[in-house]
Amino acid sequence: MIYSALLSYGFLYLSVLLLWMPGCRKYPAWGLVLLISIILGLISHQLDIIAIIPIILLALTAYYSQAERTHIFMRVISGIFVIILSIGLAGHQLPGFHNLNVLDHVYISNNAIPFTLYLNFDKTVVGIFILGFGCPLISSKKEWLQLFKQIALKAPIVLLVVIVAAFILGFVRFDPKIPDSIFIWAVTNLLFVCMAEEAFFRGFIQKNLILMMKK
C-alpha cells in the first residue's frame, strides 16, 4: 500500500514537470500522468472516491474560465467556482484527501520550532489545472536561457537582501547546516507549494484582474 502511495505522489511530481514539456498544449501529457496519479491515490487510499468530485469540478471550471471561446457569462461563473474550489482544496477543507505526512514534528535546529511536512495532493491539483488549461508556460530552450539569465542577475541580490534583513530583525540566527530532509523539502516546496500558490495568485487572480482593468 505504501508503494502505491509513493508512486501516486511520484506521478504527481511528474505531472507538474510535464506542464513545461514542449507541445503540452496540443498533447497534454500532464493530464494522463495526473490521471495515473489519481488512480494510484485511490488504490493506496490517499484519496477517497468522493475526492473525484472536486477534482473534476475544478478541471471543468478551470478549463471553461480560461478558454477563449467560452461566453463571458460562463467564464465569470466558472472563475468564481475556481476560486471557491481552490480555496477549499488549498485549505484542506474538502473531503476525500488523506495527504501523506513525510515529516512529523522534526527539529532542524536545537532552538527551532518543530517542522511538519505533508505532500498535499488537494492543493497541488489547483496549480496543475490552472497552469495546464490557462497559462502559456515557457518550454523552449531559448526561453529557458532567457529566464536563467534573469535569475542569475537578480536572484543573488534578492536573496542577500532578504537574508540580511531577516538576520538584523532577529527572525533567523546564523546556524548553517544541511538537514537530512533538505531534498524532500526543496522538491515539495518547489513543485507542490510554490507552483500551486503562484498559479492561483499570479496565474489566475492577477491575470484576470489585469484583463478586467484593460477593458
pLDDT digits (tens, 9 = 90+) for 59-70: 999 999 988 787
Q: Give the predicted TM-score (pTM) of the model.
A: 0.89
- List the grid coordinates of 122: 488537494
What is the structure's pLDDT at 1? Answer: 67
Cα separation of 64 and 87, whole Å?
18
Cα separation of 158 and 211, whole Å?
29
- Residue 140 confidence (pLDDT) above 80: no
Q: Which domain holds residue 131?
A: 2-214
- Residue 13 confidence (pLDDT) above 90: yes
| Residue of 50, 59, 107 whose CA lies nearest to 82 | 59
Cα separation of 210 and 35, whole Å?
32
How confident is the prediction for the chain on average, in pLDDT?
A: 90
Once rounded to an integer, what is the mean pLDDT over residues 74-100? 95
Query: What pLDDT digit, counting tens, does each position of 129-139 carry?
Result: 999 998 777 77
| Residue of 143, 120, 141, 85 whose CA lies nearest to 191 | 120
| Number of folded domains that form the chain | 1
Once rounded to an integer, what is the mean pLDDT over residues 148-157? 89
